[in-house]
Chain A
Amino acid sequence: MLKEPIQIGSFQNGLGSLGKLQQNKFVTLDNCDIHSETGICQPQLAMESESTTPNEACLEAIDNTGNIFAVSTTSGKIWKRTTAASWSLIHTNANGAHRGARYFNGFLWYWTATKLGTYDLASTYNDSFATGSDFREGIEANNTLLIANGRYTSRVDSTNTFSANEFVVPAQYKQTCLKNVGDDVLVGTYVSNDVAYCKAFLWDTVSTAWSYEAEVFEIGINCFVTLGEIILAQCGTQGRFYYWTGSKLKRFGKIRGITTALGEQKSVVYNGRALFANGTKIYSIHSEEEGLSIAFCGEYTCTGTINSLIVQGQTLLASVGTGFDKRGNNYATATIETAEIQAKISDIKVRYDVYPTGIGISTSINSADYVAQTETVNATEKEVSFNGGVIDGATSQVKIILTPSGSNVPKIKSIILQ
């Protein structure tokens, strides 16, 4: 038995990197909002299907009025979403599946692996405006559109002149993703799925050579994540993140248990939080205040595998292949899983702030499946507890399910094991 109770709280610390080992972090946080009220965990709003009209995996661009253009990554189809959330097919690119799109200089620019197209937002499309070799992510930087293009960075300037090879990296690298760093641009690369190193290059967008190069021993830089003034590089296949020091990439952290791959539009900033999509889940990487540690947290779950994210006003949208999900107005069911306790426990208490009805306690003994327990509510102490006898195992883990009812959402402060 535990000599002293263990109190697990500080939900703002987020997901742990130590697996089931004891720590003041969590093994699982799904659909959890751990930042709106620091220290409290509550269910997050749920992602729900908005439309099944773009029924293919898409990448998106947003124009200067909030219209979204979704370009299919499996065909030449281009859809438009108005600010009133009305989706329609507007064009089919004769060059086939897209690699990206971006609004720049009054035009929508969309590209396949080898062809850059333009749309004047009125009626004229040119699917073959320019030719490249391996287009990937494009960003706007210093009043130009930059697009990763194999070993080159291509540029469209403000006169719509296309320059194919503005910046060149050594021949073995392929540019994957780009990120503004002040006036400079950080260029992410990969070599091959069979080569476990790659580099990031910092380019001032004017010079012919880079200012810094930083090696990272991962299979590729998959995407960059803007975390306030920090730039993270999501690298490799095992969910690891590195941060840009100004001249190098240093280890930042990882999301345990996920598999990652190239995907330039898997990250957005939404309501001040950096979000990163993987599989069907959207994780936040955030601290609400300076001084608090930056936490990984599973905030949203989509209805399908996420291909890309985009934000329109206050609406978070995700392309899920069979359609688009949006953040809705209903709350999701949240799941919290604690670290493993190597002791018998006889008492589990969940201290709540409001709404005890939707707090469910499950236990896993010796790594067996979770078993739901019967809870007792003590409204005076604001505790939901299970004290149905000694849980007799060498190891114990606890899972808390927070089930909302309409706008009533459970908010919990800590979990006490004894």
Chain B
Amino acid sequence: MRKVIWKFKPQQSKNAKYSPDVAKEDGLRYIEQLKLEDDVAEVIEESDKFVIYLKDEQDK
């Protein structure tokens, strides 16, 4: 099983436009892309990130 992380960035004055909401939307798009291209086993939403588990050949 492979583990992939997508972080929600806390709002920073230097990168104010990249808010947690924007980062989460980007993350959801990324997960949709992974579902098309890879074998997504599980997606866990934690307080600051998505944790995505991808199946390897031996997991299938």
Contact = CB atoms under 8 A, between A and B. Distances in A.
The answer to whether A and B come from one shared complex is yes
A126 interface: yes
Contacts of A210: 14-15
17 contacts: A128-B37, A128-B38, A129-B2, A131-B33, A131-B38, A160-B2, A162-B5, A163-B7, A164-B30, A165-B6, A165-B26, A166-B7, A168-B18, A170-B15, A208-B9, A208-B12, A213-B14
A-side interface size class:
20 to 34
A107 to B, nearest CB: 13
A108 B13 CA distance: 37
Contact of A131 (B7, B12, B17, B37): B37
B56 interface: yes
A164 B4 contact: yes
A165 B23 CA distance: 9
Contact of B3 (A161, A166, A171): A161
The SS class assigned to the B binding surface is: mixed
Interface string A282-322: 00000000000000000000000000000000000000000
B34 interface: yes
Contact of B9 (A131, A159, A161, A168): A168
A61 to B, nearest CB: 21
A162 B2 CA distance: 8
Nearest to A132: B30
Contacts of B38: 128, 131
Interface residues of B, number: 23
Contact of A209 (B5, B14, B26): B14
Interface in A163-204: 163-166, 168-171
Interface of A: 126, 128-131, 159-166, 168-171, 208-210, 213
Contacts of B5: 161-164
Contacts of A171: 17
B14 A131 contact: no
Interface string B32-49: 011001100000000000
A165 B12 CA distance: 15
A60 B14 CA distance: 35
Contacts of A129: 2
A393 B30 CA distance: 69
Residue of B14, B23, B37 most packed against chain A (CB within 10 A): B14
Contacts of B15: 168-170, 208-210
A126 B1 CA distance: 12
Contact of A163 (B4, B10, B12, B26): B4
Contact of A130 (B2, B12, B13, B23): B2
A128 B38 CA distance: 8
Given A131-B38, A208-B9, A126 B3 contact: no
